[in-house]
A = this chain, B = another copy of it.
């Protein structure tokens, strides 16, 4: 009898863990679409899609609060240890990064509305499209790595974040040159500046999610580590 009872408890526990993981993945899917749509809106000057992104931000926020509450309840009721505890903590950190990405997507959409009738619609188009496509792939890659406990996939995302940072720096230089040449476009250029910045921040959050994959698998906290340090830590076995 007691064994059955324990099996029942442990079955329920696994179901709870599976639930937060799967809700996190759904939230991740929504945020990935929000970011992809925001990039499409700015690159095609599509204000209808931008409106849609702004409207859905609330859903992202609600998912964060709901999943975080589920995580707290598991901590209270199940008192998880070792890798189960790491899963709960990692999920609660990942949803925070997803929520911030949702925020950034919404900022991109708001600035899209500001520049929708701008004088030079081509300004930094290429950089935004390139960086945008890259960060959407990074979100998918980070979530995929989380789902599959795939540290190599996670490291790939960290590596791509460095590329996005470089593209960002080069796009900023292009933008500043343009502002100096055509001061009347400074209003538009500042909006583009915030958009580039938002895309770059989304890349940072995808990197943060990848760091949680490494925490999940190895137990190592690599949040302030360099790429080389992360690579060293990533393949160590978790101690417990």
At the interface, yes or no: A180 with Cβ under 8 Å from chain B? Answer: yes
What's the Cα separation between A143 and B184 when bound, in Å? 44
Which one, B65, B75, B82, contacts A223 given CB within 8 A?
Answer: B65
Q: Is the CB of B190 within 8 A of A183?
A: no
Contact, CB under 8 Å: B179 / A186: yes
Residue of B nearest to A68 (CB): B221
**Smallest CB–CB gap between A209 and chain B, Å?**
15
Q: What bracket does the count of chain A residues touching chain B fall in?
A: 20 to 34
Within 8 Å by CB of A180, from B85, B172, B183, B221, lies: B183
A12 interface residue per 8 A CB criterion? no
- Chain A positions 185 through 217: 1 when the CB is less than 8 Å from some CB of chain B, otherwise 0: 011001001000000000000000000000000
Interface of A, helix, strand, loop or mixed by DSSP: helix
* A3 within 8 A of partner (CB): no
CB <8 Å contact, B221 and A69: yes
Residue A46 is within 8 A (CB to CB) of chain B in the complex: no
As a 0/1 sequence over residues 206 to 240 of chain A, the CB contacts with chain B under 8 angstroms (1 = contact) are: 00000000000000010110000000000000000
Q: Which residue of B lies closest to A86 (CB)?
A: B72
- Contact in complex: A183, B179 (CB < 8 Å): yes
Interface membership of A89, Cβ < 8 A: yes
17 pairs of residues in contact across A and B, judged by CB atoms under 8 Å: A61-B224, A62-B224, A64-B223, A64-B224, A65-B223, A68-B221, A69-B221, A72-B85, A72-B89, A75-B89, A79-B79, A176-B190, A179-B186, A180-B184, A183-B186, A190-B193, A193-B193
Given contacts A62-B224, A72-B85, A183-B183, 7 further A-B contacts (CB under 8 A): A64-B224, A75-B89, A76-B81, A76-B85, A176-B187, A180-B183, A190-B193
